[in-house]
Structure 1
């Protein structure tokens, strides 16, 4: 409590409690030299003298009781509103699927609320993957020829490329590798109409209307079913 040396307790691997844990006394550390504190004038770290630091250290660790320390620390606290509020579904009225949109937006206020989009069947598309062939040079090594060393280049109709590095040389095939790169294409809508639920599920949802507000009944009554 007073920042002095004391002998504490520890527990051995066998579970035995031992009175053998030495704790050194509290000591005043060096003054703050943080670059951020020097940059921001509101922190005032460099305005506190060594004598003032010693006085505060002695007052806290020697003169104050435990209750006084608690009051002192509490007096330094500043109450602020939390930047992020966590929204719980407990005791929240969820009567329609769109109610989850509001809950999601309220789940975060800073730096800004989540962006939410309520999707329907028109937003679902058929995703088609097409592969494009790309011809690229092989991995380069030290002292390999570069484009500035080319003296002649021939493109064949079948896609082959031949080059000369010296005018007197024969044409040779360009070292190349074939890469396949995927390209995603949204071809068309996956569904032309809303999906239908089973007749049994529709009946169950109608039974739940007795627990819901009257103004939301039409949503469940107009659900497509088969």
Structure 2
């Protein structure tokens, strides 16, 4: 809403699992074939290299500060995206398309060939979301100590210049 962008979200139907994004995934998978990956950042680099024309893919590498806690009710424009209200009415699993409009309204389709219908729910009046929603994580999410120790053992087969990444992983005891 803050950026005045319309987002259309499509859900797959059984038996119709091909989507436009499949070609993107296919290009990336071909680029990754027979490549050794030792660091998460290498995925970003190879993803950018997967396409040259018309331009390389734009890759955003999120860290813990990227994720916001939209589970807090005060920051939710809608309490539900279910089109129905009572038993037997349409449910979220019946939806195939959701269209989020810049004015805060949501439209939906139960079938791809249907016309968009306004979600029969009233949005809450929220002035801005992006700048005031609290972070979901205050620091990097720690892995279990056992996983950390297993990753340390794998350093025998990982190039030395990658060891620092594994040494700096936050971990917690059970």
TM-score, normalized by length of structure 1?
0.39
* Greater relative contact order, per chain length (Cα 8 Å cut-off, separation 6+): 2
Query: Which structure dedicates a bigger proportion of its chain to strand?
Result: 1
